Structure 1
Amino acid sequence: MTETAPEGYRPCVGLALFNAEGRVFLGRRADETKREHVAPGYAWQMPQGGIDKGETPLEAARRELMEETNVTSVELLAEAPGWLAYDLPVDIGKEAWKGRWRGQAQKWFAFRFVGSEAEINILTPAGGHKAEFDAWRWARLDETPDLIIPFKQGVYRQVVKHFAPFAGG
């Protein structure tokens, strides 16, 4: 069965990477010129990215995690049901994707990080990919909606609800 994003939305994945204490990985966006990702005071987010042609959402999630963090030592905990979507503000959508998409629809996955923190490399991730993040930290899952760009906060509130069982205090 092929899973397709709702029409008009760019198909993507989002990843909640939990450590042993139930904290979630957050990266600070490196390129503040990309208004679809960063607003003043809202530069932190969980890894995310597009689904390539012929790729399942789970394959995309594992690939994006590796490309953005260098992490491969994970165990799948859960997949959020359905697609979680957000609309881009119109001016940003025209700028970011030349108006092709009204926003992004994401399949969200929760993973447990089972490796050493030495594996995390956001500055020179595997495969020669450009760094998405310039800093990272572990955070409480319930604080993430307040750290992400405002138009993505609704999706992050849903992610908090779906993955709360994996979160530590």
Structure 2
Amino acid sequence: MIDPDGYRPNVGIVLMHDDGRLFWARRVGRDGWQFPQGGMNSDETPQEAMFRELFEETGLQPHHVEVLGATPGWLRYRLPRRFVRRRERPTCIGQKQVWFLLRMLGEEADVRLDHSDRPEFDSFTWVDFWYPLDNVVDFKRDVYQRALAHLAGVARKHGVDPGHAPAVAPPLATVR
């Protein structure tokens, strides 16, 4: 599903321990690390897609997490030209995402990266709240910065101190 502007609707998942550390996973067969994320089906709400992606990528179910909040509206990033498949129609030029902050209620043993037939990740760790900003692929960095800046406020409202962002994040704008 691609919108008229060429963006694929998608959800991002920031899974947080009570101590404020975040779930950070390595892509299968690559040295790239990221948060769980995935595309929405046309019949899904963002929250339904989030729970489906959470289960597919981590094996976690709704009772393993608590939804603390989400970014308002869509955050967008463009794919670098080398990743755009111009022969596909419609052409996807990037992703538009709603990001969710979840509190981990389950145990680490509940995480199953091999749950699906085609796993996304082969390893995970827990990192400081702002660590992903310096360690995600460049073209996702701005969206990560805006999402984490918003979700840090959500974390604080739930009694978790994420510390301070290493750089000033631009204001979060709601995009259609």
TM-score bucket (shorter structure): 0.7 to 0.9
SS class of match (1:55): coil
Contact 1:5–1:83, Cα closer than 8 Å, also in 2: no
Q: Does 1:57 align with 2:55?
A: no
Q: Given the alignment, which residue of 86, 100, 119 partners 2:110?
A: 119
Which structure exhibits the higher relative contact order, with contacts defined as CA atoms closer than 8 Å and separated by 6 or more residues?
A: 1
In the alignment, what sits opposite 1:164? 152
Indicate if the aligned counterparts of 2:6 and 2:90 stay in contact, CA closer than 8 A: no
Q: TM-score under structure 1 normalisation?
A: 0.83
Moved runs in structure 1, 4+ residues, more than 4 A? 95-99
- Alignment check: 8 A CA contact 1:14 1:48 kept: yes
For the residue of structure 1 that corresponds to 2:68, the secondary structure is strand
Pair 6,148 (structure 1): closer, same or farther in 2 beyond 3 Å: farther
In the TM superposition, residue 21 of structure 1 has moved relative to its aligned partner by 0.8
Query: Quick one: which of 97, 100, 114 aligns to 1:109?
Result: 100
Deviations 1:15-60 (A, max 9, x none): 000011111111100133xxxxxxxx6x110000000120111000
> Using the alignment, how far apart are the partners of 1:138 and 1:55 within structure 2?
29
| Structure 1 stretch displaced more, 130-139 or 87-96 | 87-96
RMSD: 2.1
Superposed displacement of residue 116, structure 1: 0.9
TM-score by length of 2: 0.80
User: Which residue does 2:91 correspond to in 1?
Assistant: 100
Q: Aligned equivalents of 1:146 and 1:154: distance in 2? A: 11
How many residues were matched structurally? 154
